[in-house]
Structure 1
Amino acid sequence: MFVWNMDPVALEVGPVAVRWYGLLFAFAFVAGYHMMVAMSRAEGRDPAPLERLVTFAVVGTVVGARLGHCLFYEPEWYLAHPWEILKIWEGGLASHGGAVGLVAGVWAARLRDPGVDVGWVLRRLPLPAAVGGACIRLGNFCNSEILGKPATVPWAVVFARVDGVARHPVQLYEAVTYLGIGVLLAVLYRRPWWRERLLGLFLLLVFGLRMVWETVKMPQAALDATGTWTTGQLLSIPFVLVGLGLVLWPQGVQERRAR
């Protein structure tokens, strides 16, 4: 058993407190941008459009993640107090909404800049997205939030800033899972057939395994405490189905048979 008592604030500059979560969130986008540039150059493409894409990607992700949390996890509160939706600094982001927002941001960038190849971007995004997912879960761990259920396993963690209960470090489970998926995608990226199907495999694995980890996670919404399925699991199902469809695209099946 391990006791976790880390201060979520990395540093304070006057009245401004910079949290580890925020630093990891920012690192995810910086690292993701450089990964996309590296892939673009490796494939002989001009990386310039990616510079103009970053702002749309960040805004889309944040807005989507915030709306996803407000509408799916605490709808009654936020519908009654809509101005609270703007208080992003108080926490409350949902990865499912962030994924949708990111895609919307890419499309918005395409409308502004015809040089943005939406198809290419979406098929390469899974690699940096896997790293980003791991960073976000590490940020949750630093914040002592999104807790796991009580556990007696040797690696259980006591979040001293929350309570004295030993719990599954589900944030670390997910972080390691996403990093592992990232490594797998990096290997498959070298294979032309899989390179065009990374998005489908990413959705299938990330949200499929998310459904598994939800079983050892504390309730995040009212539905979680009363229903058979958690909100996170229900929201993951469409992503899993879309991912499966993208992996088993008919054209891909024909290509596989031809080889």
Structure 2
Amino acid sequence: MKDGIINWNVDPEIFILFDTFPVRYYSLSWVIGCALCYLIVKKVYQKEKIPLENLEQLTMYILIGGLLGARLGHCFFYEPQYYFQNPLEILLPIQKVGETFQFTGFQGLASHGGLTGIVIAIILYVRKSNTNILWIMDRVALGCGAMAASIRIGNFMNSEVYGKPTNGNWGVVFERDDLIPRHPTQLYEAGAYLLIFVVLMFIYKSKKIERRNGLMVGIFFILMFTARFMIEFVKENQVGFEDSMSINMGQILSIPLILLGFAIIYYGKKPLTYKT
């Protein structure tokens, strides 16, 4: 370390399983994040005396929807041309190298797509279970901040999704890519998401705040994607076509979700009940 500069050169692979399947910090961060989200929401269900069988079913919907949405979001928002030419790689953890395919794991997951997938999964769940959609989304939002923070730490371990160069006197040098001190935007986002988690937990536990349907998930959308929008200004563009844009794809996708947060708060005026 020199001055305020941290040199970062961690191998993203922890080990290789059966000499074939690489186990990465990023994959581990997803597992930890999902587990944290589940445990947080489980505590809420127990506190409010909602049967945990309901949460088990909801969890399956969210896991499938979140992973599918994150994967499809990356493929269609950031690299549509490549994946239209290589459709097998969209949902299979492989990559074509010459005339053969190699196992790579999923190289690319988009948070906007993941969140969209979670929302769709919750919509499908409430149609089957006859529960209040905003009640469910409020509780799920409580755990999503911790999950998002864990995933961004995984990006840091992977030396990816980093920021633009700093003034050279401080920052992180991601030696696997270059020797330029950069903004560690993964850690900026992780810190912001943890703060959002604390804010939502305070609102949930406060007896002085009227918690209407949609208040917590609305605040979650507003805070999370405002933070994302602002941090994108110091983040490197993920794909080449963003270089010609005044704001990048991450910022464009954040705007409707911020507006959705305000809309949910405005329209969520019914009493808080689990059932519709």
Aligned equivalent of 2:273: none
Contiguous gaps of at least 5 residues in structure 2: 94-104, 271-276
Q: Does residue 1:193 correspond to 2:214, yes or no?
A: no
Q: Does residue 1:50 correspond to 2:55, yes or no?
A: yes
Instruction: Tell me the CA shift for residue 107 of structure 1.
Output: 2.7
- 1:165 alignment partner, one of 177, 180, 197: 180
Name the SS of the counterpart of 2:122 in structure 1: helix
- 1:11 alignment partner, one of 3, 15, 35: 15
Aligned equivalent of 2:65: 60
Q: In structure 2, what residue type is equivalent to 1:194? A: R
Aligned equivalent of 1:203: 221
- Aligned residues of 1:208 and 1:236 also touching (Cα < 8 A): yes
Instruction: Tell me the CA shift for residue 193 of structure 1.
Output: 1.6
Contiguous gaps of at least 5 residues in structure 1: 253-259
- Aligned residues of 1:135 and 1:175 also touching (Cα < 8 A): yes
Query: How many percent of aligned residue pairs carry the same amino acid?
Result: 37
Name the SS of the counterpart of 1:156 in structure 2: strand
Aligned equivalent of 1:239: 257
Distance in 2 (CA, whole Å) between partners of 1:244 and 1:106 is: 19
Aligned equivalent of 1:257: none
Distance in 2 (CA, whole Å) between partners of 1:134 and 1:195 is: 26
Distance in 2 (CA, whole Å) between partners of 1:13 and 1:249 is: 50
Query: How many pairs does the alignment contain?
Result: 251
Distance change (3 Å), C-alpha of 1:250 and 1:52: closer
Q: In structure 2, what residue type is equivalent to 1:63? A: L
Q: In structure 2, what residue type is equivalent to 1:36? A: V
Q: Which moved more, 1:149-158 or 1:113-122?
A: 113-122
Distance change (3 Å), C-alpha of 1:153 and 1:180: farther
Name the SS of the counterpart of 2:246 in structure 1: coil
- Aligned residues of 2:15 and 2:22 also touching (Cα < 8 A): yes
Name the SS of the counterpart of 2:14 in structure 1: strand
- Counterparts of residues 73-222 of structure 1 (less than 5 Å): 73-88=78-93, 89-111=105-127, 113-114=128-129, 117-152=132-167, 154-191=169-206, 193-194=210-211, 196=213, 197-222=215-240
Q: Which moved more, 1:179-188 or 1:29-38?
A: 29-38
Distance in 1 (CA, whole Å) between partners of 2:37 and 2:49 is: 18
- Aligned residues of 2:212 and 2:268 also touching (Cα < 8 A): no
Q: In structure 1, what residue type is equivalent to 2:163? A: G
Instruction: Tell me the CA shift for residue 123 of structure 1.
Output: 1.2
Distance in 2 (CA, whole Å) between partners of 1:39 and 1:223 is: 43
Distance change (3 Å), C-alpha of 1:27 and 1:94: same
Q: In structure 1, what residue type is equivalent to 2:110? A: A
Instruction: Tell me the CA shift for residue 115 of structure 1.
Output: 6.5
Instruction: Tell me the CA shift for residue 41 of structure 1.
Output: 1.4
Distance in 2 (CA, whole Å) between partners of 1:250 and 1:36 is: 21
Instruction: Tell me the CA shift for residue 155 of structure 1.
Output: 4.0
Name the SS of the counterpart of 1:189 in structure 2: helix
TM-score in terms of structure 2 length: 0.85
TM-score in terms of structure 1 length: 0.91
Distance in 1 (CA, whole Å) between partners of 2:8 and 2:51 is: 45
State the Cα RMSD in Å. 1.8
Distance in 2 (CA, whole Å) between partners of 1:190 and 1:217 is: 34
Instruction: Tell me the CA shift for residue 153 of structure 1.
Output: 6.0
User: Cα deviations across residues 148-191 of structure 1 (Å, max 9, x unaligned)?
Assistant: 10112654000011111110000000000000110111101123
Name the SS of the counterpart of 1:3 in structure 2: strand
Q: In structure 1, what residue type is equivalent to 2:140? A: L
Name the SS of the counterpart of 2:164 in structure 1: coil
